[in-house]
């Protein structure tokens, strides 16, 4: 079983390390999605190092909690977190997006240990997660949790809301959706492309329990995800307010970094900033 880390400074340090690996991966790949990947490093750290019941040495363990990634383009953070937790060697990270690599630009089911779903076409992940949660709870009569990471931009898609209705109908006790509320999507600010506010009111209207958090506050993330596990009357939506490009000043809040990788000079600047941050938060 993965050791549960409760020391917040240690967790923040792991998240920072994951961010540095994301920058190096994207630099080597020469393409990929920087903003969302960096923005979700804290959520992924909380999941894999504190909240989930899982075992990196037994990726197919029947009793594991599941993570489904709906917004597949931010998979560099998933890959970097899985490697950090020991699912596969870190050197694999440097093959991101290369021909023949298990770590492609969008995730493929079981291409590497820990990859639980295929994604890329947006808007499908909550359907996958709700089906999985239903199968675990209703058919297997078991208790494993399913955490689905999704994005705000995906809430422009009709299928997302079909899955939200399905989960509410079945009052799925083991399903938690985590929304990366970073206010950007591919071509601009979400509220300009397709207004989404209030996501909280919308999910509540669909009979979900909603918790809204600062997606960079490790204590808040952990508390929300543990609370989500304890709520069994209905599915839970955690709205994680995040900063796209978090930790790299020239990427933060800028939608132009949605689908762009840093060049050598930009990567050096980014790594310098992140390692300065890491020395300030050292344990
Ligand atoms: C069905 C579908 N339509 C369009 C795209 C192209 N696309 C890729 S990412 C993206 C933006 C989605 O918004 P979000 O996930 O919030 O972006 P981020 O916050 O990561 O910048 C779009 C439109 C896609 N992958 N799938
Ligand atoms: Mg977004």
Rounded to the nearest whole angstrom, what is the distance from the C-alpha of residue 179 to the centroid of ligand 1? 13
Q: Is 185 in the pocket of ligand 1 (CB under 6 A)?
A: yes
* Mean pLDDT, rounded, for 143-153: 98
Q: Is 40 in the pocket of ligand 1 (CB under 6 A)?
A: no
Which tokens belong to 260? 């762009």
206, 57 contact by CB (below 8 A): no
Q: Is 32 in the pocket of ligand 1 (CB under 6 A)?
A: no
Rounded CA-CA distance 129/119 in Å is: 12
Q: Is 150 in the pocket of ligand 1 (CB under 6 A)?
A: no
Cis ω for the linkage preceding 167 (within 30 of 0) = no
Ligand 1 mutation target, pool 33, 71, 177, 246, most atoms within 8 A of CB: 71
Q: Whose CA is nearest to atom 23 of ligand 1?
A: 186
70, 148 contact by CB (below 8 A): yes
Rounded to the nearest whole angstrom, what is the distance from the C-alpha of residue 38 to the centroid of ligand 2? 12
Contacts of 210 (CB under 8 A, 6+ apart): 200, 203, 204, 236, 237, 238, 239
User: What pLDDT sits at residue 3?
Assistant: 85
Q: Is 70 in the pocket of ligand 1 (CB under 6 A)?
A: no
pLDDT digits (tens, 9 = 90+) for 198-244: 999 999 999 999 999 999 999 999 999 999 999 999 999 999 999 99
For the whole prediction, is pTM greater than 0.85? yes
Q: Is the pLDDT of residue 282 over 70?
A: no
Confidence of residue 278 (pLDDT cuts 50, 70, 90): confident
Indicate which atom in ligand 1 lies nearest the CA of residue 157.
1
Per the prediction, the chain carries an average pLDDT of 97
- Residue 73: nearest ligand to its CA? 1
pLDDT digits (tens, 9 = 90+) for 150-203: 999 999 999 999 999 999 999 999 999 999 999 999 999 999 999 999 999 999
What is the architecture of the domain spanning 8-280? 3-Layer(aba) Sandwich (3.40)
Contacts of 225 (CB under 8 A, 6+ apart): 46, 47, 50, 51, 147, 176, 178, 238
Contacts of 46 (CB under 8 A, 6+ apart): 11, 218, 221, 222, 225
The residue among 169, 81, 178 whose CA lies nearest residue 126 is 178
175, 235 contact by CB (below 8 A): yes
Confidence of residue 2 (pLDDT cuts 50, 70, 90): confident
Rounded to 5 degrees, φ, ψ at 89 are -65, 145
Residue spans per domain, the chain: 8-280
Confidence of residue 1 (pLDDT cuts 50, 70, 90): confident
Q: Is 183 in the pocket of ligand 1 (CB under 6 A)?
A: no
User: What pLDDT sits at residue 283?
Assistant: 42
């Amino acid at each position: 079983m993965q050791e549960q880390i409760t020391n917040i400074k240690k967790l923040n340090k792991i998240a920072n390390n994951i961010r540095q690996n994301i920058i190096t991966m994207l630099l080597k790949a020469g393409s990929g999605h920087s903003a969302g990947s960096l923005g979700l490093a804290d959520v992924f750290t909380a999941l894999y190092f504190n909240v989930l019941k899982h075992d990196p040495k037994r990726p197919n363990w029947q009793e594991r909690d599941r993570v489904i990634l709906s917004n597949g383009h931010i998979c560099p953070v998933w890959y970097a977190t899985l490697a950090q937790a020991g699912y596969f060697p870190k050197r694999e990270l440097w093959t991101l997006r290369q021909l023949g690599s298990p770590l492609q630009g969008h995730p493929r089911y079981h291409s590497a240990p820990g990859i639980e779903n295929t994604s890329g076409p947006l808007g499908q992940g909550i359907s996958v997660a709700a089906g999985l949660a239903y199968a675990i709870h209703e058919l297997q009569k078991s208790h494993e949790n399913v955490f689905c990471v999704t994005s705000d931009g995906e809430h422009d898609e009709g299928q997302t809301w079909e899955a939200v209705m399905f989960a509410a109908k079945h009052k799925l006790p083991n399903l938690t959706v985590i929304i990366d509320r970073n206010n950007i999507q591919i071509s601009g600010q979400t509220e300009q492309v397709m207004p989404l506010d209030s996501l909280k009111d919308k999910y509540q209207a669909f009979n979900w329990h909603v918790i809204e958090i600062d997606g960079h506050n490790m204590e808040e993330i952990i508390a929300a995800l543990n609370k989500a596990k304890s709520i069994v009357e209905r599915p839970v939506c955690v709205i994680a307010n995040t900063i796209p490009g978090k930790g790299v000043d020239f990427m933060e809040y800028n939608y132009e970094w949605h689908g762009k990788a840093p060049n050598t000079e930009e990567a050096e600047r980014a790594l310098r900033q992140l390692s300065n941050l890491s020395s300030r938060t050292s344990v």
